[in-house]
Amino acid sequence: MEKSYDAVVIGAGIAGLGVAGLLQKAGKSVLCVEKDASPGGRMQGFDIEGGWRVDIGLHMVELGDKSSSALLVKELGKEVLWGRFSETVEVFKDGKWRNLLELVSLSQNDVEQVKGAMKEIASMDDREIEANDARSWADWLKSRVKSRVARDLFEVNGMIMTTVPEASSMAAGEILYIARENLRKKRDFLTAAYPKGGMLGIIEPLKAAFEEAGGELLISSEIDRVLFDGNEVEGVALKRRGASPYPESFYIGGKQVVKAPVVVCAVPLWSLDSIIDLGDESSLLPGWWLKRYKDLKYQTTGLIGYTIALKEPVYDKPNFLSALRLERTGMPFQAFVPSAFDPDVSPPGKSILQTDCVVEVKQVFDKFELNRLLDSMWEDIKELFPGIEKKIEWKFPYKCIGCDGLARKPANVGIFKPDVVAPGVRGLYFAGDTYRGRGLAVNSAAVSARLCAERILECGA
C-alpha cells in the first residue's frame, strides 16, 4: 500500500535528522528513513557491556556550546549537555607530548605576526573567505606571515582542521572560516568540546525533537531509488524483504512506494548513485552538475584507528593529541581521551582512548595494505603511550571513509560544493557535509541541514 508525506528524508545522521526536525517543526509531515539499525550515520554511538559508551571513530565538536550543531539542536527545542573543552593541542615530538606553544618557540616578532594574522582573520566577511576557497593555506600564509616559526604554528592547526597533511593541499577558505568563527565566538584560533554521553548526546535530542513533533523515523530500512514523474520528485521506493535468499545486488523483494513532493538525500556524495540515476545519458540532472559530481565523488579522506578501553589511563588530560607524521605508518595521527572530557563514558577509574590515522581511501579498501597499516600503527601507538599494552581491557580496530566529508582541499570547499538544491529537478534536495555548508565535520552537516530546510520552506514545498 502506498503512503504519502510532505517530505521524505533519506539518512538519519545529524543532517538528515536536522532537516527532518526543522520541516516537521514547520508543520510538514516527514518520514526519515535510515538503513542502519540506529540513527547517527557517521556519528553513531553504542553502549558496550561493562559501562562503556563508544563512538564510531574519533569525534569532537568544534566550538562546543557555540557550534552550529548546538544551535541546530537548540532551534528544535532541545539542549546538548557538554563535557569539558579541550584545554590545548599537544603534538608528539622528540619522544613526548608537547604543548603547541612549548613546541614552537615564538619570538616577540613571531607573536606580533600571529596576532596580526588572527586579527585579519577575525575581521573577514563571507565574501573575502569565499575568495580563498580555491587557494591553498600555504599560499595564504606566505602572503601574510613572514616568520617560518609562526607559519609552522598555523600549519599544525590547519592540519588538525582539515586532516590534510600538507599546507599546500589545505583549502585556505575553509580554515579561514573555521578560525574566524572560533576567534569571534571563543577568542581562540581553534576550540573543541565533547558532548556528555558522546556523539549520542547530539543525535538523541535531534531524534527526540523530530519524533515528539510527530515525525516518523523508519530504521533498518533501505531506499531502492528516488521516484520521479518527468522532472518532478514523486517519492521513493523502499525495499521490502521478499522470499528470495539472495542479498544486496541480487535482492529480489517487493517495493513499497512512499509518495512525497520533496525528497532530501542526506547521504554522502559517494553514495548518491545508489538511489538516483546519475548516468550521463539517462540522468535528470544537467551535464555540468554530473561532471562536478564525478570530479568530487572520491575527493575524501579515509581513517583507520583503534578504540582502546584501558584499566587505567595512559593519558588523562582533556586535550586533543596530534602527530604530523608517525614513524612507521608515515601518516598524520590524531587522538583524544573521551573519558577525560566525560568520565561517564567509561567505568569509574577506567579510560577510553580514541586514535586515528589519516590515509588514502584506496588504502582503506585494500585489505592487505589496511592490515599492514593497522599493524604499523599499533607499533606507533605503543611508542606514543608507553606501557599501554599492560593496561588494555579490550581494543578493536576500525576503518571509515569520509571522516570530514569532502577532503578540505582547494576548490573542494564552500562555494565549490554541490548546492543543497538539485538543479532542474523540482523537489529534490541534498544535505550533509559533502554538500554546501562550512565548519568542521558535524558542524558542516548542521549548517547544511539548516540551509536545506530554509530552501525547502522558501519554495513553499
Confidence of residue 266 (pLDDT cuts 50, 70, 90): very high
- What pLDDT, in 10s, does the model give residues 142-164? 999 999 888 988 998 898 888 88
- What the block records as the C-alpha cell of 87 is 584545554
| Cβ(307)–Cβ(54) below 8 Å | yes
| Cβ(83)–Cβ(193) below 8 Å | yes
What is the C-alpha to C-alpha distance for residues 251 and 239, in angstroms, rounded to an integer? Answer: 9
What is the C-alpha to C-alpha distance for residues 25 and 300, in angstroms, rounded to an integer? Answer: 33
The edge-to-edge listing of strands for the beta sheet with 351-359 is 96-99, 89-93, 320-323, 333-336, 351-359, 300-310, 392-406
Confidence of residue 427 (pLDDT cuts 50, 70, 90): very high
User: In the CATH scheme, what architecture does the domain 300-406 have?
Assistant: Alpha-Beta Complex (3.90)
What is the C-alpha to C-alpha distance for residues 188 and 171, in angstroms, rounded to an integer? Answer: 20
Going from N- to C-terminal start, the domains of the chain cover 3-81+199-298+409-458, 101-189, 300-406
What is the model's pLDDT at position 95? 86
Core vs surface per residue 329-349: b (16+ CB within 10 A) or e: bebbbbbbbbbbbbbebbeee
What is the model's pLDDT at position 240? 72
| Cβ(43)–Cβ(34) below 8 Å | no
Average pLDDT of the chain? 92
- What pLDDT, in 10s, does the model give residues 72-127? 999 999 999 999 998 888 988 888 898 877 766 778 888 899 999 999 999 999 99
- What pLDDT, in 10s, does the model give residues 369-422? 999 999 999 999 999 999 999 999 999 999 988 877 899 999 999 999 999 999
* % of residues, the chain, pLDDT over 90: 76
Indicate whether this model's pTM tops 0.85.
yes
What is the model's pLDDT at position 228? 97
What is the model's pLDDT at position 163? 81
Core vs surface per residue 30-50: b (16+ CB within 10 A) or e: bbbbbbeeebbbbbbbeeeee
CATH topology of domain 3-81+199-298+409-458: FAD/NAD(P)-binding domain (3.50.50)
What is the C-alpha to C-alpha distance for residues 248 and 221, in angstroms, rounded to an integer? Answer: 13
Write the DSSP assignment of 114-162 as a string of letters: HHHHHHHHHH--HHHHHTTTTSBHHHHHHHH---HHHHHHHHHHHHHHH
Chain position carrying cell 576567534: 183
Which of these ranges, 32-41, 107-116, 122-131, 216-225, has the smallest mean pLDDT? 107-116
Neighbours of 418 (CB within 10 A): 19
Confidence of residue 247 (pLDDT cuts 50, 70, 90): low
Does residue 264 surpass a pLDDT of 90? yes
